[in-house]
Amino acid sequence: MSDDSWRKCSACKNPIAYDATYFTCSVSTCNRKRTALQFCTVSCWEVHLPVARHRESWADEQTAPSRAEAAREASAAAATPEPRKPRRILPEPKPASATDPAAPGQAPKEILIIGTRLKDYVRAISGFNTSDRALEPLSEIVREAAGEAVRNARAEGRKTVLDRDVDPDRKR
């Protein structure tokens, strides 16, 4: 920042001088270290409201630090390194259990297919009716495909199943 101003207004980019009055948003997400919104006037604060879509907020009046205070804060921030973000390490795969979705034979045996939607689809493409007993074997096919997709995602170190994890032969 230049020698005569502390920071710039987040809306109009005009400088906010040292020891000057400025405004912040009352909503905590606007005041986080990375966001740190500050406004030179209340009208500049009002400019961010349509974008932020806060339910309830107001402008808090603040006073900018003096030149000496700002220099002290800057040197203190430079002296303390920012903590490293911890690496995300995925747990080792557990053996197949009743709660493991990658073990299709052990998962709860519920119907996974919406019967009315399947029946409507079969009727639309062929004019055939569909027995309720077809839902369980089709649910088993879905369980097997989902379990394989979970194993593929886990092998790539992810906890999100993506479309590429589904067997390409099944995606026809």
Structure-token match 């500049």, residue found? 44
Q: From the CB of residue 141, how many other CB atoms can be counted at a distance below 10 Å?
A: 13
**Residue of 68, 80, 57, 85 whose CA lies nearest to 19:** 68
Full-prediction pTM beyond 0.85?
no
- Alpha-carbon distance of 5 to 22, in angstroms, equals 12
pLDDT in tens, 37-91: 999 999 998 888 888 888 888 889 999 999 999 888 888 877 777 677 776 666 6
Number of DSSP helices (H) and strands (E) in the chain, helices first: 5, 4
Read off the tokens for 122: 């079969």
